[in-house]
């Protein structure tokens, strides 16, 4: 009986150039690992691997040089150490995230809990091809949302609270989109220029902006053989329930219209962006 390389690969064991050696992909959500997990990983890499780990481009951790004979033992020890194996193949992959508002002063959304929620909902789900989620806390886009099949970016929809404004002028300069101008009557805001970055609200010394967190979604990004930037066309989404309706619908669209082994981007290109946009917009409009 031969080795089932496909099953091993699906379970995160990636075949190496060296026969019977595997680089084991671990499950990491939102780029965070606990100290206990790191210790377990370090011990396994020393005991079964070559004493080092590789950090992937998408916040993943791999332990190279795991021997075929040790696969089961490694799985058991990982589990005991609170570490799960990752996935490969045509399914939902590691959900990546920047540190977001819990840590970073620029953050507009709390990225880590959202990454956990998305990972719990979709991680490993089988699809026509791989599918990547990435979450970035604000317009600075440290996590590069648009590289992902589905990117989520935090934003603020802002409203001026006129009575608090002293016309100090700080926000006029803080806004990089030139959406705010100071006139003799007060501030003038050109909403068509606003990109929801929230810099006005974050910089105002007098709390004269009401900023409400929201999500900006980009679809169809891919940065491998084919390079394409995810497209953002929906207005900012203010609640998680709608966000999940949209992500559900996007995955359903992919499952329904894609040919086997076709990436989300290619699928949307072929099925037509107009159709796709309409489906997503209908969901947003209830």
Partner 1 sequence: MADYTIDETVDITDVVCPVTFVKAKVALEELEDGQVLSIRLNDGEPVQNVPRSIKEEGHQILKLIDNGDGTYNLVVKRITLEDQT
Q: Footprint of ligand SF4 on this chain (CB under 6 A)?
A: 98-100, 104, 106-107, 136-138, 140-143, 156, 158, 165-171, 174-175, 177, 179-180, 187, 194-200, 204, 206, 208-209
| Rounded Cα–Cα distance for residues 133 and 149 (Å) | 6
- CA contacts within 13 A on the Cβ side of 262: 16
Task: Name the residue nearer to partner 1 (CB basis): 205 or 260.
Answer: 205
Decide which of partner 1, ligand SF4, none touches 158; Cβ closer than 5 to 8 Å per partner kind.
ligand SF4
For residues 66 and 104, is the Cβ–Cβ distance under 8 A? no
The residue count for the chain: 286
- Across 24-40, b (16+ Cβ under 10 Å) vs e yields bbbbbbbbebeeebeeb
Minimum distance of partner 1 from residue 176's CB (angstroms): 7
Task: Name the residue nearer to ligand SF4 (CB basis): 179 or 216.
Answer: 179
Structure tokens at 225: 């053989």
Minimum distance of ligand SF4 from residue 210's CB (angstroms): 11
For residues 210 and 201, is the Cβ–Cβ distance under 8 A? yes
Minimum distance of partner 1 from residue 171's CB (angstroms): 9
β 61-67/21-25 pair status: antiparallel
Structure tokens at 87: 């996935």
Task: Name the residue nearer to ligand SF4 (CB basis): 19 or 162.
Answer: 162
| Rounded Cα–Cα distance for residues 286 and 166 (Å) | 39
Helix axes 35-47, 71-80, angle to 10 degrees: 160
Decide which of partner 1, ligand SF4, none touches 83; Cβ closer than 5 to 8 Å per partner kind.
none
Task: Name the residue nearer to ligand SF4 (CB basis): 66 or 204.
Answer: 204
Decide which of partner 1, ligand SF4, none touches 74; Cβ closer than 5 to 8 Å per partner kind.
none
Task: Name the residue nearer to ligand SF4 (CB basis): 10 or 140.
Answer: 140
For residues 24 and 66, is the Cβ–Cβ distance under 8 A? yes
Decide which of partner 1, ligand SF4, none touches 202; Cβ closer than 5 to 8 Å per partner kind.
partner 1
Decide which of ligand SF4, partner 1, none touches 173; Cβ closer than 5 to 8 Å per partner kind.
partner 1
Decide which of ligand SF4, partner 1, none touches 84; Cβ closer than 5 to 8 Å per partner kind.
none
Q: Which residues bind partner 1 (CB under 8 A)?
A: 105, 166, 168-170, 172-174, 176, 199, 202-205
Closest listed residue to residue 230, CA positions, set 137, 113, 134: 134
Task: Name the residue nearer to ligand SF4 (CB basis): 170 or 249.
Answer: 170
- Across 164-198, b (16+ Cβ under 10 Å) vs e yields ebeeeeebbebbeeebbeeeeeebebeeeebebbb
Minimum distance of partner 1 from residue 218's CB (angstroms): 25
Decide which of ligand SF4, partner 1, none touches 136; Cβ closer than 5 to 8 Å per partner kind.
ligand SF4
Minimum distance of partner 1 from residue 113's CB (angstroms): 23
Task: Name the residue nearer to ligand SF4 (CB basis): 61 or 158.
Answer: 158
């Amino acid at each position: 009986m031969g080795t089932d390389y496909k099953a091993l690969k699906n379970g995160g064991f990636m075949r190496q150039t060296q026969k019977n050696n595997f680089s084991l992909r671990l499950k990491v959500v939102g780029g965070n690992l606990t100290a206990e997990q790191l210790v377990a990983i370090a011990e396994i890499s020393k005991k079964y691997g070559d004493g080092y780990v590789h950090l992937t481009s998408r916040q993943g951790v791999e332990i190279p040089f795991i021997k075929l004979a040790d696969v089961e033992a490694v799985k058991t020890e990982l589990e005991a150490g609170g570490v799960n194996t990752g996935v490969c193949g045509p399914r939902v992959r590691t959900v990546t995230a920047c540190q977001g508002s819990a840590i970073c002063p620029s953050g507009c959304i709390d990225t880590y809990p959202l990454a956990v929620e998305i990972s719990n909902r979709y991680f490993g789900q089988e699809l026509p091809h791989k599918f990547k989620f990435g979450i970035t806390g604000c317009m600075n886009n440290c996590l590069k949302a648009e590289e992902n099949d589905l990117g989520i970016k935090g934003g603020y929809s802002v409203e001026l609270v006129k009575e608090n404004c002293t016309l100090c002028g700080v926000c006029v300069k803080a806004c990089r989109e030139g959406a705010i101008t100071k006139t003799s009557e007060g501030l003038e805001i050109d909403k068509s220029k606003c990109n929801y970055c929230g810099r006005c609200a974050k910089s105002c010394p007098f709390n004269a902006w009401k900023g409400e967190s929201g999500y900006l979604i980009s679809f169809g990004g891919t940065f491998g053989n084919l390079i394409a930037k995810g497209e953002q066309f929906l207005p900012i989404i203010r609640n998680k329930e709608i966000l999940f309706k949209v992500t559900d619908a996007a995955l359903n669209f992919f499952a329904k219209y894609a040919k086997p082994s076709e990436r989300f981007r290619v699928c949307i290109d072929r099925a037509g962006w107009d159709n796709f946009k309409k489906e997503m917009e209908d969901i947003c409009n209830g």
